[in-house]
Structure 1
Amino acid sequence: MSTQIPLGEVTAALASSLSVTALEPLTQGGQKYVFKGKLESAEAAVKVVLLPDGPDSVYVLERAQREVEVLATIDSPRVVRVLSEVVEIDFGSGVQAVAWVEEWLDGSDVSKNLAQPWDYARCARLVVNIGEALSAFHELEVVHRDLSPANVRELSDGSFSLMDPGLARHLAKTALTGLFQPGTPGHRSPEHVPGGDIQPVSDIFALGILAFLALTGAHPIDPSGAEDDYYRRLREYDSPRIETLRPDIPASLRDVINRCLQRQPARRFLDGQELIEELQGHKQDFGPYFIDA
């Protein structure tokens, strides 16, 4: 957990604050830690975020609260469910954290499953399932803004779930624009360029990146090098057509990915619902991967 906080103290605090038991540490990323545990008799994931000293602690707290608020609002089997409110924990010695409980998702993050190019069926399932998740977000006027492999879970049954909307933007409640636009390098849309305006159509571009990466092992827009050069490429370069690298995929999937990756937002699917309607029009190719299949 942290050299400043004995593990026993952490698990005791989580058990007291969130009523979770059988805690096992799983992963650490930056100031965020994930435990596996039980809430009553059900397996659960417990997330803990250490609050930094100084004014940045306010931002970290707000991000955690935003993540839980968004998850509590969205009701979709393609989006991880939150099982508690955010609680603040004081470990003493000036170390504070926030924590909450989510449903346990088996399987692994997509970031761990990209060593080999995917086949058509696996990618089609990804596009449908995450399209369904985005439709649930966009119906509530929420943009995920960080649709990267680490935030998508491939479950043991082969389906996919969307996680970690800590950078989400609620269009009806915020006017968050300006120079800084969050997201993961390589998984940003042209609207992520500083000064851009991220909208549901930006999540569609990011889903196109995921599908392109899964099928080819490469990003459609190279994120390497200086950040300014990456942003220039996002603004000025068109993504290569997927068939130049994967001529074997069906035309329906080819056309969907190419449209998701249009540099001009108006040429993409405008939101998750429009994408889903297109996919439902090709039931032979995509039908088996919908929730009600």
Structure 2
Amino acid sequence: MGDRLIAGRYRLEERIGAGGMGVVWRATDLDLGRVVALKRSQAGDSGQIRREARIGAGLHHPNVVTVFDAVIDGDDRWLVMEYLPSRSLADVIDADGPLPPGKVAKIGVQLAAALAAMHEKGMVHRDLKPGNVLVADDGTAKLTDLGIAQWAEVTRTGGGLDVGTPGYVAPEMAEGRQAGAAADVFSLGATLFAAVEGTSVWGDASVGPFVQLRRATSYTLEPIRRAGPLAPALMELLRRKPAGRPDAVRAAELLSEVADVVVPARRRRFRVTRRAIAIAAVAAVLILTGGLLYATREPASIAAGPPSELVGDRRTADPCALVDPSVLNHLGTPELDNATGNFNACGVLLRLSADKEDIVDIRLELTTPTSPLLDKPMPGQLIVREIPSDSEDKCARGIPLPDGNQVWVHARHIRNWHAHLCDYVDPVATHAVSVLNREPVERRPAPFPDGSLGSLDACALGGELPQAIVGGPAAPDPVFGNWECYWNHRETQVTIRFERERAPFKDLDDRRVALGSREAFVEVSAEWKACQAEIPHRTFGGNGRAMIETVEIYVADKVKQPQEMCPAAERLAGEIAPRLPPL
């Protein structure tokens, strides 16, 4: 067949690939004198080739195999495409075994950019898998086989799984639902998972397609063992709910961080437009394809890994260095909040709708684990751990660190409206772990202002009185940075902690207690099951709002009622007030 001419113009040279959908040949275009690839459907002149030609003609991207033409020869319709000397990613994995995380991330950046271009035009691929990815010797990756791709608005008819490959299919597709852009993102994650782990995310193909589909519908993922710094990005792409996955543009950003490509820096507090992110993703691909010509091993920043001492001095570590509001751009309008809560915290206020009260508050805190870690985390291989919850209205994630500290990410709706909070927590946690897998936590950009509670030690502020209140020997138990401290003895507990909140301070129905030149507001706290005394301290401006620092005091007892502990709380407030910096 090597001498056969197709449509009087294309001479077939060598069969280079075959699959269930078609056969691909390397051929020579005699009119233009160039090498091309020709694809013929296994089913003859089927709608598959026409559909692939129509979709390919409307898509021009450096990481998608270009479609030149569609021709008819006898009873067959052939697709004329760009020829790329390459191997499929499936062949690379079979020949070389699992690939290094950095190399996989570089492939992923390019594929995510290709998907972003498709999705921008309203197209979905529906069958992204290693066999449909071509990888050249210089590292260039291209998406191919648009045979079952479609425009997103096409309505699916019939039931069952009629698209995709079981080992790489998204859970919603396995359940028989319509494939959307989010399904492509999942399949991208599954493809990269296979490249770095050496097996499908739904189990090895040897278990059979029906077992893989059952695992997809039940969301039974294979464990991540080899991905290292790529693991957080994979976890994000492989989220069960389509709404919780990043779009393809954001996926390119996440992967570019692991791939060690340069992305234009983003400043906090400013909302990054989708167009700006798209430009960044394209820039990453351009830099990547140039840099791969010289890359012979993993970048030093990935190979060496970050130091095990990630936090350093707890009081100068900047939690906001781990927070990037733009990871939530696809879910609403985010705003960095670096002036609320304790001094170990930083957050994002995410407006979900035009309603000014429809806001989710996502908090990241540097803290210490409440119990010892059984397995010490390895530097550069940190992962996000799910903290079990009994409701979608609660969500928290933890990132244990090698130095014994922990990052805690949690969220709440400011009006306690129903919200799928994990959809907002996970992107923030994933970004934090990607930063920590590269480098230690940055230092605060400036010291605390004069008179700020941030420069005080909560464990020393009450003198000996906390121990006297608990009624026995009790060493202070500090929380991260000594901005919160506990004393416990038998049934009684005392807590002193610092807080930052909106000003003016609202006392509501709290009882006001004079403390010389200061005052405290006393109430029974149902949340803490304690008597609370709060001392307003310093006002300041934060995020364009008037804020105030306060000292919170809680006294609780397992036997006595909270109101019985209020005299002790007032007494401790009286001890603390004169020790505070002058106003």
For the aligned pair, the TM-score class normalised by the smaller chain equals 0.7 to 0.9
Report the counterpart of residue 210 of structure 1 in structure 2: 191
Cα offsets for 1:120-175 (capped at 9, x unmatched): 22111111011111111111111101111111000121121000010112113x11
Cα offsets for 1:78-121 (capped at 9, x unmatched): 0000111x22322xxxxx21102101111111111113111122
Pair 1:77-2:62 in alignment? yes
Report the counterpart of residue 36 of structure 2 in structure 1: 44
Distance 2:67 2:176 in 1: 32
Q: Contact conserved, 2:166 with 2:213, CA < 8 A, in 1?
A: no
Work out which of the residue numbers 89, 92, 116 in structure 2 matches 1:110. Answer: 89
Pair 1:232-2:214 in alignment? yes
Pair 1:291-2:285 in alignment? yes
Distance 2:79 2:140 in 1: 24
Higher share in helix: 1
How far the C-alpha of 1:235 sits from its partner, in A, is 1.7
Work out which of the residue numbers 159, 165, 169 in structure 2 matches 1:179. Answer: 159
Work out which of the residue numbers 176, 180, 187 in structure 2 matches 1:195. Answer: 176
Distance 1:23 1:240 in 2: 41
How far the C-alpha of 1:27 sits from its partner, in A, is 3.3
Q: Contact conserved, 1:178 with 1:194, CA < 8 A, in 2?
A: no
Report the counterpart of residue 4 of structure 1 in structure 2: none
Identity fraction in percent:
28
The AA in structure 2 aligned to 1:266 is A
Distance 2:167 2:237 in 1: 15
> Which structure has the larger Rg?
2
How far the C-alpha of 1:37 sits from its partner, in A, is 1.7
Higher share in strand: 2
Report the counterpart of residue 464 of structure 2 in structure 1: none
Pair 1:88-2:72 in alignment? yes
Pair 1:264-2:241 in alignment? yes
Q: Contact conserved, 1:81 with 1:102, CA < 8 A, in 2?
A: yes
Distance 2:83 2:186 in 1: 28
How far the C-alpha of 1:237 sits from its partner, in A, is 2.5
The 5 Å alignment of 1:52-71 reads 61-71=46-56
Q: Give the direction of change, closer, same or farther, for the CA distance of 1:284–1:145 in structure 2 (3 Å limit).
A: closer
Pair 1:25-2:15 in alignment? yes
Q: Contact conserved, 2:87 with 2:135, CA < 8 A, in 1?
A: yes
Q: Contact conserved, 2:111 with 2:143, CA < 8 A, in 1?
A: yes
Report the counterpart of residue 134 of structure 1 in structure 2: 115
Distance 2:150 2:17 in 1: 26
How far the C-alpha of 1:227 sits from its partner, in A, is 4.5
The 5 Å alignment of 1:94-173 reads 96-115=75-94, 116-172=97-153
Q: Give the direction of change, closer, same or farther, for the CA distance of 1:22–1:284 in structure 2 (3 Å limit).
A: closer
How far the C-alpha of 1:283 sits from its partner, in A, is 8.0
Q: Contact conserved, 1:239 with 1:263, CA < 8 A, in 2?
A: no
Q: Which consecutive residues of structure 2, in runs of 5 or more, have no partner in the other structure?
A: 264-282, 288-583
Work out which of the residue numbers 4, 7, 17 in structure 2 matches 1:11. Answer: 4
Q: CA RMSD in A?
A: 2.4
Distance 2:201 2:22 in 1: 29
How far the C-alpha of 1:228 sits from its partner, in A, is 4.5
Q: Contact conserved, 1:153 with 1:162, CA < 8 A, in 2?
A: yes
Report the counterpart of residue 93 of structure 1 in structure 2: none
Distance 1:75 1:275 in 2: 20
Q: Give the direction of change, closer, same or farther, for the CA distance of 1:264–1:82 in structure 2 (3 Å limit).
A: same
TM-score, normalisation: structure 2: 0.42
The AA in structure 2 aligned to 1:88 is I
SS in 2 for 1:186: helix
Distance 2:211 2:16 in 1: 36
TM-score, normalisation: structure 1: 0.81
Distance 1:37 1:255 in 2: 42
Q: Contact conserved, 1:178 with 1:196, CA < 8 A, in 2?
A: no
SS in 2 for 1:287: coil
Q: Contact conserved, 2:63 with 2:143, CA < 8 A, in 1?
A: yes
Report the counterpart of residue 475 of structure 2 in structure 1: none
Q: How many aligned positions are there?
A: 262
Work out which of the residue numbers 205, 229, 249 in structure 2 matches 1:273. Answer: 249
The AA in structure 2 aligned to 1:27 is G
The AA in structure 2 aligned to 1:290 is A
